[in-house]
Amino acid sequence: MPRIPPRQGPVENLRIGAGQEFPRARIVGIVPCGQLRASIVNPLKLLRRLGPLAAAAMLLVTTAAPAAAHSATNGPDHQFGEMVDYPLVDPVAGDYRMSDTFYAGRSDGVHHAQDLMAPKMTPVVAVATGVVQRVNWSSNANYLNESRCCTIVLIHKDGWESWYIHLNNDTPGTDDGQGWGIAPGILPGTRVTAGDLIGWVGDSGNAESTAPHLHYELRDPHGTVVNPYQALQRASGVTITGGGGGGSGGGGSTCTAIGETSALLNGTTALRRGSTGTAVAQLQSVLAALGYTPGSADGSMGPKTEGALRGFQDDRGITVDGVAGGQTRSAISTIVAAASHASVLYPGAPLRPGDRGQAVTNLQQLLRVAGFSPGTADGAYGPLTTAAVTALQEAEGLTVDGKVGPQTRTALSRILGLEGLAAACG
């Protein structure tokens, strides 16, 4: 039975957890809630048969979300937010865009997940062989908690967990909240194989006002939430060197240094679709180095380059118009200024007060570009550098210890727009 090879050409059939084949031609929508009830179970009838007390007990037991969903605690094997290179299948079987959003701020604290941005109805698959533990936070196959559609928790056979959140809940072509974005046969207790179809990308839950995406979390067997960014990069075909991962998903990026940029940064003509020349080629090279997928650096700005540029603009809060004008050039200039010092952002031993050397010099240069005040870039991790690191940690809502570990490196990379470069070249 064919498996889903992500982004490797057409696939005739997608597998589903029930062991059946689901033809790609049928991915034109999702099973409406009414049809699902008819084909699986009608929970309202079930509740009436159980009686009020038993029904209330069932609801109480099966609809609560797992405890400590946002717990930033360390475990015996991994620290909270530790970057892991866990083997998994790409969870989104189609093109998507991703930057490291694990430590992004959210209303309830740190994001602690990766957002894979993709169109609604892009297939979502099991990253590993295992058993579906919860659907819409319910562990009862006879009650799927439709009002909390659509989420899946998958327990891998080795005890790791994958959480899939914001699956589709809309009738295709609408935003009506009346659909069902979980594949037929996917229920609590369903056994699935890595690559099986389990649902579709959407914007359910508190993502209704955002672009469609899959919120993907990875937890180790002790329940510690880890950062799956590197694992997702490897799963999507990214070439990882020296222990890092990098770039945006869905393109197969490699570690590429930022090369010559003078024509791009010194030019004044806005670059848009149809533009050609050296400045366009340099723009394409920069975008590729940062993990986007502009196509080959052929000096011709087509739809791929425009799409990659729009992704870059969106990630940096620039007007998203697909045109490289003054605002975009300024953002690229800041990145280029910092890129020569980016090696300090690669995974490695923490930097701390009292350290000396080139890594500290690079850190001081980057802190200055990011708007902090580390003093002279003399390679000595003294009080001013410590104060600058502390200010960065306070501004980003991190643990304030004056040391540069994984969380602080990630935050500084994000501020400077170097997430893809730092990860890919790690």
Q: Is residue 244 part of a domain?
A: no
The reported pLDDT for the residue numbered 240 is 37
Give yes or no: residues 113 and 85 share one domain.
yes
The stretches in the chain having pLDDT less than 70 are 1-72, 105-110, 237-257, 347-348, 419-426
Last-in-domain residue among 339, 373, 388: 339
| 7 within domain boundaries | no
Report the distance separating Cα 395 and Cα 92, nearest Å: 33
Residue 254: which region, alpha, beta or left (left: phi > 0; alpha: psi -120 to 50)? Answer: beta
Domain boundary among 339, 371, 402: 339
219 and 113 part of one domain:
yes
Residues 286 and 138 both lie in one domain = no
Domain of 409? 344-424
Please tell me the predicted confidence (pLDDT) of residue 109. Answer: 63
Tell me, yes or no, whether 119 and 201 share the same domain.
Answer: yes
Domain annotation covers residue 240: no
Check whether residue 349 and residue 200 sit in a common domain: no
Residues 291 and 180 both lie in one domain: no
pLDDT value for 168: 92
Number of domains in the chain: 3
Kindly report the number of other CB atoms within 10 A of residue 307's CB atom: 19
Query: Whole-angstrom Cα distance, residue 124 to residue 103?
Result: 23
Based on the fold, state whether residues 191 and 293 are members of the same structural domain. no
Q: Are residues 310 and 362 in the same domain?
A: no
Write the CB contacts of 363 (distance below 8 Å, at least 6 apart in sequence): 341, 344, 351, 374, 381, 385, 389, 404
Is residue 5, in this structure, part of any structural domain at all? no
Name the residue with tokens 């928790």: 153
Q: Which of 293, 314, 339 is the last residue of a domain?
A: 339
Q: Give yes or no: residues 358 and 329 share one domain.
A: no
* Distance, CA of 153 to CA of 139 (rounded, Å): 9
Domain assignment present for 48: yes
Neighbouring C-beta atoms of residue 158, cutoff 10 Å: 12
Cis peptide before 149, with omega less than 30 degrees from 0? no
Q: Is residue 409 situated within a structural domain?
A: yes
Domain shared by 311 and 403, yes or no: no
Does some domain include residue 418? Answer: yes
Same domain (yes/no): 222, 326: no
pTM given for the model: 0.48
| Amino acid 28: pLDDT | 27
Residues 6+ apart with CB under 8 A from 5: 11
Instruction: Report the 3 state secondary structure along the chain.
Output: CCCCCCCCCCCCEEEECCCCEEEHHHCCCCCCHHHHHHHCCCHHHHHHHHCHHHHHHHHHHHCCCCCCCCCCCCCCCCCCCCECCCCCCCCECCCCECCCCCCCEECCEECCCEEEECCCCCEEECCCCEEEEEECCECCCCCCCHHHCCCEEEEECCCCEEEEECECCCCCCCCCCCCCCECCCCCCCCEECCCCEEEEEECCHHHCCCCCEEEEEEECCCCCEEECHHHHHHHCCCCCCCCCCCCCCCCCCCCCCCCCCHHHHHCCCCECCCCECHHHHHHHHHHHHCCCCCCCCCCECCHHHHHHHHHHHHHCCCCCCCCECHHHHHHHHHHHHHHCCHHHHCCCCCECCCCECHHHHHHHHHHHHCCCCCCCCCCECCHHHHHHHHHHHHHHCCCCCCCECHHHHHHHHHHHCCHHHHHHCC
Q: Which two tokens stand for residue 285?
A: 């090279």
Same domain, 115 and 213: yes
CATH of the domain at 282: 1.10.101.10
What is the predicted pLDDT for the residue at 161? 97
CATH number of the domain that residue 130 is part of: 2.70.70.10
126-178 tens-digit pLDDT? 999 999 999 999 999 999 988 889 999 999 999 999 999 999 998 888 888 88
Query: Does a structural domain hold residue 242?
Result: no
What's the pLDDT tens digit per position in 52-95? Answer: 434 343 333 333 444 434 456 787 888 888 888 899 999 998 87
